[in-house]
Structure 1
Amino acid sequence: MSIEPASVEEVTAGLRAVGYLPGESTALVSYLAAKLGKPVLVEGPAGVGKTELAKALAKYLDRELVRLQCYEGLDEAKALYEWNYRKQLLRIQAEASDTGWDSVQEDIFGEEFLLRRPLMTAIASERPVVLLIDEIDKTDQEFEAMLLELLSDFQISIPELGRIDARTQPVVLLTSNNSRELTEALKRRCLYLWVDYPDAAHELEIVRLHTPELSATVADKLIEIVHEVRELDLKKPPSIAESIDWARALLLLGADDLDGQVFRDTMSVIVKHRTDLELVAARVGVRLGGAGAPNGAARTIPTR
């Protein structure tokens, strides 16, 4: 049975219970989306937890997550539906000798011959789902226009079948990394949520939630370093997920401190470009007292 939240506080508690620590605005917009039935456009830098919000909402609301991963060139056939031409051909061959073409044509354009893609799967579901349209900014304006009917009325129009209304109303999240400006028509149909990197205290709480065994000293220093690294001019700043991965790596390796050498030995967990590695090593690694080039010879990481 899908959960219907009664308050913003209930949403906050529910998301925390499934491992997602929302800010106040995130909890508020999530509550409004569930109660008003409005799609949510979630924008922000890559790696701040936009996709994870949809996953957490699905867990909290006890709904299936239906995900459409967007990419350049995505079209209706891959996002919405297409006809199962092979099955249609087999039906035509089976019935052509006994039935007139008009009857066969009417028969082969039924729902049984539709191949449902994520968008149609979401509105055809008997149980309400969470629909994630991930990285919508990678598509073009033509694709956005195709989405408008779904986002406005939770319905789709198929020329051969007519209008298909949603059986249940999904909670819809669209995420964008701001690689291009989205159309005003799409924005008008959505609630809006901007998600940025959390402040140090919030991110520390997130890391501690996922790695409670990590020492407080290492966790505090990890967050301090991550925020320092994000201030540099990098191709890709560390994401929240990478902060958690780094904490898990340090815990696995038994690190009881985060000095310069340990940082250099493990910095590739949060820094993923060669030029970024060099810059971070020169700025942060030197300050911490490490020596040598990134990924170079390393001493043994201290263990408990």
Structure 2
Amino acid sequence: MVWFSSPSDATTRLGEVGYLADPATATTAFLAGALEKPLLVEGPAGVGKTELAKAVSRATGADLVRLQCYEGLDEARALYEWNYKKQLLRIQAANDGQAWEETHDDIFSEEFLLTRPLLTAIRRSEPTVLLIDEVDKTDVEVEGLLLEVLSDFQVTIPELGTVAATRRPFVVLTSNASRELSEAVKRRCLYLHLDYPDTERERAIVTSQVPDLDDKVATQLVSAVARLRDLELKKAPSIAETVDWARTLLALHIDDLDAMAIDDTLGVVLKHASDTDRAVRELKLR
């Protein structure tokens, strides 16, 4: 499968599903498909890293398989595990004289295998986008598990042997850079850093998502968001929250984003009391 025929094709098709990719993003997305290499997307929370994988899925018609990473994630949750309850029932049912060798071969078969996202994506014959989200939140040990998958797109199951991908998925790893990933993982990936867009691009994103928003309000909105991000808040407004703010202003029929309107609707984009207090103080909203 050809994911994208060129960077310009990636720009066009991603744009058609609502993702406005800049030239670097479109080029890297094209290369990830053309070279069949995983794509590591790094940057602050809320800049569109996860949305990029979803947009590739929508633009290409591929199914999305998502592995949400977290502290304590292990092989059983990421790759596969055996259905122990069903195995136990099978062992109990086989107590009537069946040899253990026969029972062992029976219970370690496909019928008792529970596939998790990594194995699911590898075994699929249909076009698949594999999203490994927030990989920096996992323990370092999990990276060893990822190396086999990202290197050869295969997984070894001791009881069944090696399972190799018949069709390589389009792999996107996202990271908020809360910890440094190993060089071994980075070496196997293409790299893309996403940051908050400039006001012109963010305005384009907002107007594409909320086309009924007044041009004047859209300009005021992205300017206000840029000012909030400059305050070094505990959690800066994400692009999705900017869009939510735009929809809020449209719903409230606000045609001028003045200090009072900002103060009344700050809860849409700021989710910590300390951030709200700082914004009110620094922007002199009251």
* Equivalent position of 1:101 in the other structure: 100
Q: Does 1:136 align with 2:135?
A: yes
> Mapping of 1:62-211 within 5 angstroms?
62-211=61-210
Give the C-alpha shift of residue 160 in structure 1.
0.9
Which residue pairs with 2:248 in the alignment? Answer: 249
Q: How does 1:42-57 map to 2 (within 5 A)?
A: 42-57=41-56
What is the DSSP-based 3-state SS (H/G/I as helix, E as strand, rest coil) of the residue aligned with 1:16? Answer: helix
Give the partner amino acid of 2:265: T
Rounded to whole Å, the distance in 2 between the matches of 1:169 and 1:114 is 21
* Paired AA for residue 90 in structure 1: L
Distance in 2 separating the partners of 1:94 and 1:44: 53
What amino acid is aligned across from residue 243 of structure 1 in structure 2? T
What is the distance in 2 between the residues matched to 1:88 and 1:31? 44
Question: Aligned with 1:5: secondary structure?
Answer: coil
- Which consecutive unaligned segments of at least 5 residues does structure 2 have? none
Conserved? CA contact 2:2–2:34, under 8 Å: no
3-state SS, counterpart of residue 264 of structure 2: helix
What is the DSSP-based 3-state SS (H/G/I as helix, E as strand, rest coil) of the residue aligned with 2:50?
Answer: helix
Q: Give the CA deviation at 1:98.
A: 4.3
Matched-pair contact (CA < 8 Å) for 1:3–1:60? no
In the alignment, what sits opposite 1:13?
A: 12
Letter in 2 for 1:208: T
Contact 2:217/2:256 (CA < 8 Å) preserved in 1? yes
- For the residues of structure 1 that align with 2:10 and 2:173, how far apart are their CA atoms? 19
Shift of 1:92: 1.8
Q: Over residues 50-75 of structure 1, what are the superposed CA-to-partner deviations in whole Å (9 max), with x where a residue is unaligned?
A: 00001001001111110010000000
User: Percent same amino acid at aligned positions?
Assistant: 56
Deviation string, structure 1 residues 117-174 (Cα, Å, up to 9, x no partner)? 1111111112121000000000111100111000000000111111111132100011
Distance in 2 (alpha carbons) for counterparts of 1:31 and 1:150: 21
1:35 corresponds to 2:6: no
Helix, strand or coil for the counterpart of 1:169?
coil
How many angstroms apart in 2 are the aligned matches of 1:226 and 1:116?
A: 42
Structure 1 window deviating more from structure 2 (98-107 vs 116-125): it is 98-107
User: What letter matches 2:157 in structure 1?
Assistant: I
Q: Shift of the alpha carbon at 1:3? A: 5.9
SS of corresponding position for 1:180: coil
Kept in 2: contact 1:18–1:56 (CA 8 A): yes
Cα pair 1:3 1:62 within 8 Å, conserved: no
* 1:65 match: secondary structure: strand
CA-based RMSD:
1.1
TM-score by length of 1: 0.92
Secondary structure in 1 matching 2:24: helix
Cα displacement string for residues 256-276 of structure 1 (whole angstroms, at most 9, x for unaligned residues)? 100111110001111111111
Gapped regions of structure 1 (runs ≥ 5): 292-304
CA contact (8 A) 2:66 2:133 kept: yes
The runs of 4+ residues in structure 1 deviating greater than 2 Å are: 93-96
TM, length-normalised to structure 2: 0.98
Q: What one-letter code is carried by the residue in structure 2 that aligns with 1:245? A: D
Compute the displacement of 1:93 (Å): 2.2
2:171 is paired with a residue of what secondary structure? strand
Q: 1:71-106, CA deviations, whole angstroms, 9 ceiling, x for partnerless residues?
A: 000000011000001111222222332421111111
Q: Deviations over 1:232-263 (max 9, x none)?
A: 12111111001000000000111010011111
Amino acid at match of 2:231: L
Aligned residue pair count = 286
